């Protein structure tokens, strides 16, 4: 008698990489390929909404005092203060998404990924579900060409981003998986295959 297929394991997939690595495009492709199955975690900020932004869709908006109170209460897995504004990921929002059956996608920096990893070691909700993927450029030349190709940064900013990238790449071996970036199509095939492997590994 054939055994019924085991249910898939909800996963929390963190994608990191330096500016120009293509990580944001990969996240957008996954969300587009799996609507309703892969959900972007809506993070929380203390800055006021910009015109057209919707609370709970673009960000969860809190005033600074409430944000600080929730930090003190331990409500955030990770948070940072950038240009005087708080940004962070609330535990309750992650737990709600996992309970709803969604897989969660995060595009965050290495410090945020480290915080999630530490949380997964003590939080049974994340244990065995969290996977960190680093998108690594083939070379610094490739990364420079991509940053120049975007046309959004001057040479000084590109050099600053490249210097930051060198430090980020040094930490790539701490991640669970690494994808060496090629073409956009190759990168998506790689992340798509990895996602299905992780989702069915439980």
Asked if residue 4 is part of any domain, the answer here is: no
Asked if residue 5 is part of any domain, the answer here is: no
Say how many domains are in the chain.
1
CA angle 103, 120, 105 (to 5 degrees): 25
CA–CA separation, 124 vs 8, rounded Å?
A: 17
pTM: 0.88
Asked if residue 104 is part of any domain, the answer here is: yes
pLDDT of 3 reads 38
**Residue 143 burial class via C-beta count within 10 angstroms: exposed 0-12, middle 13-18, buried 19 and up:** buried
Residue 120 sits in a domain whose CATH number is 3.40.50.300
DSSP character at residue 6: P
Sheet order of strands, 130-136 included: 38-40, 103-107, 12-16, 130-136, 177-180
Asked if residue 3 is part of any domain, the answer here is: no
Q: What share of the chain is helix, strand, coil (3-state, %, to 5)?
A: 45, 20, 35
Asked if residue 7 is part of any domain, the answer here is: no
Domain that holds residue 47: 12-199
DSSP character at residue 181: -
CA–CA separation, 75 vs 88, rounded Å?
A: 10
Which residue ranges in the chain fall short of pLDDT 70?
A: 1-7, 202
Asked if residue 72 is part of any domain, the answer here is: yes
CA–CA separation, 46 vs 72, rounded Å?
A: 15
Asked if residue 187 is part of any domain, the answer here is: yes
Residue pLDDT, tens place only, 160-193? 999 999 999 999 999 999 999 999 999 999 999 9
Asked if residue 66 is part of any domain, the answer here is: yes
């Amino acid at each position: 008698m054939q055994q019924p297929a085991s249910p898939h394991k909800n996963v929390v997939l963190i994608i990191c990489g330096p500016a120009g690595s293509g990580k944001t495009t990969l996240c957008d492709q996954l969300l587009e390929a799996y609507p309703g199955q892969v959900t972007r975690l809506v993070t929380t900020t203390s800055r006021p909404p910009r015109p057209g932004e919707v609370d709970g869709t673009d960000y969860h908006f809190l005033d600074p005092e409430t944000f600080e109170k929730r930090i003190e209460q331990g409500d955030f897995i990770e948070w940072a203060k950038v240009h005087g504004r708080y940004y962070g990921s609330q535990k309750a929002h992650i737990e709600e998404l996992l309970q709803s059956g969604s897989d969660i996608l995060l595009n965050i920096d290495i410090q945020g990924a480290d915080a999630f990893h530490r949380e997964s070691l003590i939080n049974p909700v994340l244990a065995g579900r969290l996977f960190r993927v680093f998108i690594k450029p083939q070379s610094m030349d490739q990364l420079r060409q991509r940053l120049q190709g975007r046309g959004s940064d001057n040479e000084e900013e590109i050099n600053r981003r490249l210097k930051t990238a060198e430090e980020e790449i040094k930490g790539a071996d701490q991640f669970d998986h690494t994808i060496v970036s090629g073409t956009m199509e190759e990168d998506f095939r790689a992340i798509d295959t990895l996602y299905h492997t992780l989702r069915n590994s439980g």
